[in-house]
Amino acid sequence: MTAQLETVPREALITDRGLIDRARALGPLLATNALASEHDRRAHQDNIDAIRKAGLFRLMVPKRFGGHQASIRTHLEVTAALAESCAGTAWVAALTNVCAWFVGLYPRQAQEEVFGANPDARVAGVFTPSNNSQRRDGGLIVSGKWFWSSGSLHADWVTVGVMEHDQNGAYVGQYLALLPRSEITIEDTWFTVGMRASGSNCVVAKDVFVPNHRLLDIPAALNGDYPTEFKDEPEYRGPFMPVAALVLVGAQLGIGRAALKYVVEKAPQRNIAYTTFEKQTSSVMFQAHIAEAALKIDTAHLHAFRAAADIDDAAQRGEKLDYLTRARVRADAGVVVTCITDAINILVSAHGAGTFAESSPLQRMWRDSNTAARHAIVLPSVGIEVYGKALLGVENTVTPLV
């Protein structure tokens, strides 16, 4: 694996293409460890070590700390490249990197505590808020349980959602609290049929003090108002929720590409049972299924990359993304998962019942894609309703997370 990494010219490593090439170079290792990662319900440690050595956990870390400060488009492409070999590992990388982006929104003091102390620090995160907090001078005392924290098994810090109420129970605020790994525990709760390698277990905190500089105001963030002092860093001017939603579809792109490649490569060696077709490639219907699946996968890429361009371009210009576009990006994320899961279903039917042999990687792709597609933030029905209301000028009563 070291030899493979060294084939990438050193000068290319600072470019987006160099980062994507590094992700692709890790493919054989991730594929070799895919079964073990699934069995152990966590990304294989060799995968984590290789991603770290390749600098791919620093994808969204500010350059001030030796990070790549990459674009959302690059985040999608790196995640997709990793997911072609192991979707669960790619999911860990994707969520770790977007949490690094979240840290880049906090005040300087919080950023220094995380990346100044350790440029390779990894951060996991969950938005779902706990209501168990009490105000103290300089911060909050926080307790709670947060399901499902992808990457928490490999994290040095975690971000968790927190609600604050006054002594009369009235709402005061909602935050993304940043806690060191030493002050939380992890419960082994990740028993699923798909995305098993992501190790998305439960984070638990009990009476942890979180100072104000490590509390990110969620309503302000949703409006694009961040406390970071580094306003000249365009990558950290992107819209909060569109970024948080879109990064969840990068793995889907890679799974879709891997499924199509697998079925196409196997087709000349497989017949269609109980028919005269000795090769799947001879069947016009099979050919049509492959074309249909490929076009759906292409459609998913077009929506994902259009949304990424909207986010990246607005951030570079220093402009806040308008509400209609933010709503459409959330819908775009739903379109991606719909297109990919539809494409994989077509490919599974075209490939045949052999898909469901435990030895077939296609059944794992099918399970991983369908599991990831049910993440609440990318649910197509929610995204479509939010976008439809935005197009019609109807009040959004569905979710503030746009």
* pLDDT in single tens digits along all 402 residues of the chain: 333 333 333 333 345 889 999 999 999 999 999 999 999 999 999 999 999 999 999 999 999 999 999 999 999 999 999 999 999 999 999 999 999 999 999 999 999 999 998 999 999 999 888 889 999 999 999 999 999 899 999 999 999 999 999 988 899 999 999 999 999 999 999 999 999 999 999 999 999 999 999 999 999 999 999 999 999 999 999 999 999 999 999 999 999 999 999 999 999 999 999 999 999 999 999 999 999 999 999 999 999 999 999 999 999 999 999 999 999 999 999 999 999 999 999 999 999 999 999 999 999 999 999 999 999 999 999 999 999 999 999 999 999 999
Planar angle of CA 95, 100, 104, nearest 5 degrees: 145
Burial class of residue 72 in the structure, from the number of CB atoms within 10 Å of its CB (0-12 exposed, 13-18 middle, 19+ buried): buried
Q: What is the pLDDT of residue 66?
A: 95
- CA–CA separation, 186 and 203 (whole Å): 5
Q: Which residues contact 113 (CB under 8 A, 6 or more apart)?
A: 214
Q: What is the pLDDT of residue 153?
A: 94
What strands, in cross-sheet order, belong to the sheet with 185-187?
133-136, 139-149, 201-211, 185-187
**Which domains are seen in the chain, by residue range?**
2-103 (1.10.540.10), 122-226 (2.40.110.10), 240-392 (1.20.140.10)
Q: What is the pLDDT of residue 15?
A: 52
Q: What is the pLDDT of residue 5?
A: 34
Q: Which residue bears the tokens 């087709």? A: 267
